[in-house]
Structure formats: structure tokens, C-alpha cells
Amino acid sequence: MPNAFWRYARGAVALLVALGAMGAASATTAAEFNALGVDAYNAKQWDQAAKQFEQAYKLAPDNATVKRNLCNTYQAQANECAKNSDFASGVERLLLAVSADPENPSALAQLGAYYLRLDMVNDAVFRLEDSVELDPDNLDVQELLGDAYYRANDLAAALAQWELVRERDPNRRSLIDKLNKAYREEGVEGAYRKTRSAHFEISYAPNTSGGDLGKVLQTLERAYRDIGRKFGNVYPPTPIQVVAYTAKDFSLSTQLDEHIGAVYDGKIRVPIRDEAGAPIPEAELWRRLFHEYTHVVVRYWGGDSVPWWLNEGLAETFSNRLSSAETNLLREASAANLLIPLSSLEEGQLKRLDADTLQIAYMQSHATVEYLWGRYGIRGIGPMLDSLTQGTPPEEALIGSYRLNYDRLQKEVSKQLGATVSKR
């Protein structure tokens, strides 16, 4: 959640009338309840402030000051929810805020930002558009609306929105990478068509066969069902965006090396034809799609707080089993002192490691999560994801859920593999 939007939770509170201190029981008018609410608000007692402003609102539902004060207080409550990564509860408070003061653009912007964090992209677009209409000079919200269009896979609208912001603020650094990436993707995907299934919307090249599309969508719908059940009936908001490429288009659009078979960056991006134009084998396509869809669920549950090794380990565990050949490679890597400490695998690794080391990192993450899942299933992973969402550092979250630190976990995994861990 961008920090720029947390400030919307605490707008200035105006007084209907200045009054002396009084007890809550003695308040009888909207002005008196409003004054009590201001005192509570200034003391950061959000629940008490909301209670007083709600009483004032009942008595004076058309008073602009009371409406704004109540709205600001709901926004402050939502901000507290967001600090604890409880964006769903934050949305509940913000819906009350918008109901109390529908013309407050900051409440709409905050609601749109929270919806975007919850992957409820269509809802985010709706609220952000309303906010921009009320306050077109707020370039932060204008840019966030472009982000929402991009997440909805509407490249044309995203580019138009971001260019509008750049026109008014040419030196806005946050736009540089977004615009470069979106223009590159538009150059590849500009002529792509769209279709959808029950839970997915897919963009694809004009010459893509119906059979290829059918395989992708059927596999993704199966992943939606099966992986959702494994996570304890967790199902992200839909439609989930997918882009199906040829191998060449995938490389041009993502700029990823050829050893990367698919990627999830807010959209599932997958080549369905190889360099020679032949279909990706069905079993391999199934593996890639289940892998990337697992990332969708992990992102929905844990946001950006999930360490790379856990994210990739879950995706590998839910898309294929660790093979005997991979187990042997891990043993050899251990003997050659090539295993990587989990503390070094918390951040994204795609562009940090060479292909061979990256392969070891994936296998090591796979073996680690396969071990954790085999012992406790969702009863262990679920609490760990919850803890990560609350801002707990990864190793602390691991200890809290499994009573294992990184060193002990790596030793246990190596024991299961029949190898001895050698740290770098």
C-alpha cells in the first residue's frame, strides 16, 4: 500500500461550534456530540470519536462538517487496519466513510487503493475514477488510477492515464519504469484479442488456435479449484488476468531470459508455443500454469511480505513433485558447498542469479516447502502466511509456526534428502 495514501485517513476535523468540556451523557445536540468527537479524534481515540460523530450525524445528517468529521474518523480507523495489513476490515470502514460523505475524494482514493491491494481491480477502478472526477488535480490518485487500468490489462487506458500525469509533472520518477514496461508490452500485445472463462480473462495473439486457448483456460480453472482447496478454500477476486504468448512474444514483452518458462507479475504470463512454433507439451503447460496460479493465491493471501523461497517453494510443490534427479542434484550441490542460506533467498532471485544457481535455488526452495507441507500442510503454512502479512520477519514467522529457525530447517530438509547441509 503506497504510504502516500495512508495520509488520507487523517483529514482535518472541523468544529460545528466551540464548546467547553462536557461528559458524553450530557450531550444532546449535534454540535455537542461533534465537539466530543473532536476531542476523541485529537486524542487518536478513533472508536470513541466514531461513536460521537455517529450520534451527531443522526441528528444532523445533512451537515457538511459532521459528515466530513465522521468520514475522516472512518478513514483513520481504516488506516489502523492497513497498518496491520487488514485491508479487508479497512475496506469495511471506508465503505462507511464514503456512505457518510460521498463527495470526499480522499475517502474514495483510499478505498480504491485498498481494493487494489486486495486485487479487487474492477472495484478499485470504479472508486479511483470517482475520486479523480472530484479532484482532478491530485496526481497521486491519477497515477494510481493508471496502475489500476494496467492491472485490469487495459494497456491503452493505463498509458493514456500515466501520460496525462507525465504531461503535468514531466519529472515524476515513479512513471519512468511503468511507461517503459507498458509501451514495450503494447508493442507486442497491441493486436492481441481477449476472451474469458468463469474466473480468468486471457489476452492472446490473433493466430492462437481455439484448442490452445481451451487447454490454457481449462487448466487454469482446474488450478483455481484444486489450489484454492489446498489453501483452505482461498479464492482470489476475479477475473484473473492472463496473457498467452508465443515464445518470441513472451521474450519481447517480459525481457526475461529463455530459461524462464512463465511469470506472474500481477498477470499470469505464459508462452503456449515454443521457438519452433510447436505447442508447449501439455504436461509442461499444466506445470507452468499451476505454478503461476499458486503465485496468484500467495500474493492474495500474503501480499508482498512472502519471502521468495516460500513463494517459489509453494508454487513448485503445488505444480510437481521433487524428482529423484533433483534430489541427487541437491545432494551434489551440498557436497560442493553450493546450497544457499534461506536468509539469502528472501528477496526475488530471477535477475540476481545465473541460470545454474537459480536452478539450485528453485530446487532448494521446493525441497524446503515440500518438507514443511508434508509435516503440517495448511495448518503450518497458513499461520506463517498470516504472520508474514502482519509484518513479522520471515525467520520469526517460521519459528512461530514450526518451532524451527533457518539453520534447523535446512538441517531437517537435508536429513530428509539424505544430504548434509554445507553453508556458504
User: What value does the mean pLDDT take over residues 108-112?
Assistant: 98
Are 78 and 72 in contact by the 8 Å Cβ rule? The answer is: no
The reply to whether 258 and 382 lie within a common domain is no
Give domain status of residue 153, yes or no. yes
Mean pLDDT of 293-314: 96
For residue 93, is it within any domain?
A: yes
The reply to whether 355 and 206 lie within a common domain is: no
Q: Name which of 317, 119, 290 is nearest 216 in CA terms.
A: 290
| Residue 279, pLDDT score | 93
Element (H, E) at 263: strand 263-264
Residues 27 and 157 in one domain: yes
Instruction: Kindly state whether residues 155 and 207 are assigned to the same domain.
Output: no
**For residue 300, is it within any domain?**
no
Number of C-alpha atoms within 13 angstroms, CB side, residue 358?
Answer: 13
Are 210 and 283 part of one and the same domain?
yes
Q: Is 364 exposed, middle or buried (0-12, 13-18, 19+ CB in 10 A)?
A: buried
**Which value, in Å, is the radius of gyration of the alpha carbons in the chain?**
25
C-beta of residue 193 within 8 angstroms of C-beta of residue 209: no
Q: Which of 293, 327, 359 is the last residue of a domain?
A: 293
In a domain, 423, yes or no: no
Residue 216 has a pLDDT of 97
Residue 69 resides in a domain: yes
Tell me the CB-side half-sphere exposure of residue 179, using CA atoms within 13 A: 16
Total tally of structural domains belonging to the chain: 3
Which of the pair, 251 or 424, is modelled with greater confidence? 251
Decide if 377 contacts 371 (C-beta within 8 A): no
pLDDT of residue 1: 41
In a domain, 243, yes or no: yes
Last residue of a domain, one of 240, 266, 293: 293
* Secondary structure (DSSP) of 28-90: -SHHHHHHHHHHHHHTT-HHHHHHHHHHHHHH-TT-HHHHHHHHHHHHHHHHHHHHTT-HHHH
Boundary of a domain, candidates 124, 158, 189: 189
Average pLDDT, the chain: 90
47-81 burial, b at 16+ Cβ within 10 Å, e below that, comes to ebbbbbbbbbbebbeebebbbbbbbbbbbbbbbbb
**364 assigned to some structural domain:** yes
> Which CATH number is 126's domain given?
1.25.40.10
Residue 115 belongs to domain spanning: 3-189
What integer pLDDT is reported at residue 19 of this predicted model?
38
Of 94, 95, 106, which is closest to residue 140 (Cα–Cα)?
106
When comparing pLDDT for 257 and 71, which is higher?
71
Predicted confidence at residue 352, as pLDDT, reads: 75
Give the confidence band of 97 by pLDDT, cuts at 50, 70, 90.
Answer: very high
Please report the pLDDT score of residue 156 as a whole number.
Answer: 95
Q: What confidence tier does 4 reach under pLDDT thresholds 50, 70, 90?
A: very low
Gap between the Cα atoms of 175 and 329, Å rounded:
43
Residues 245 and 347 both lie in one domain: no
What is the pTM (predicted TM-score) of this model?
0.86
The closest alpha carbon to 302, from 289, 315, 290, belongs to: 315
Say whether both 100 and 183 belong to one domain: yes
Residue 349: pLDDT band (50, 70, 90) is low
Confidence of residue 424 (pLDDT cuts 50, 70, 90): very low
Residue 390: how many other CB atoms lie within 10 Å: 13
pLDDT digits (tens, 9 = 90+) for 119-129: 999 999 999 99
Arithmetic mean of pLDDT, 80-106: 95
Task: Judge if 261 and 149 occupy the same domain.
Answer: no
Angle between helices 121-134 and 139-151 (to 10 degrees): 150
Higher pLDDT, 290 or 16: 290
CA 14 to each of CA 26, 69, 91: distance values in angstroms, whole numbers, following the listed order: 21, 7, 24
Q: Measure the CA–CA gap between 247 and 252, rounded to whole angstroms.
A: 9
For the domain that residue 262 is a member of, what is the CATH number?
3.40.30.160
Per-residue pLDDT band at 376 (split at 50, 70, 90) = confident
The residue type of 264 is Y
Average pLDDT of the residues in 292-317: 96
pLDDT of 6? 40
How confident is the model over 25-39, as pLDDT tens digits? Answer: 567 899 999 999 999
In a domain? residue 422: no
Question: Do residues 310 and 285 both lie within one domain?
Answer: no
Percent of the chain past pLDDT 90, that is, above it, reads 79
> Do 285 and 176 share a structural domain?
no
Do 319 and 266 fall within a single domain?
no
Determine the pLDDT at residue 24.
Answer: 53
Does residue 51 sit in the same domain as residue 149? yes
d(CA 291, CA 298): 11
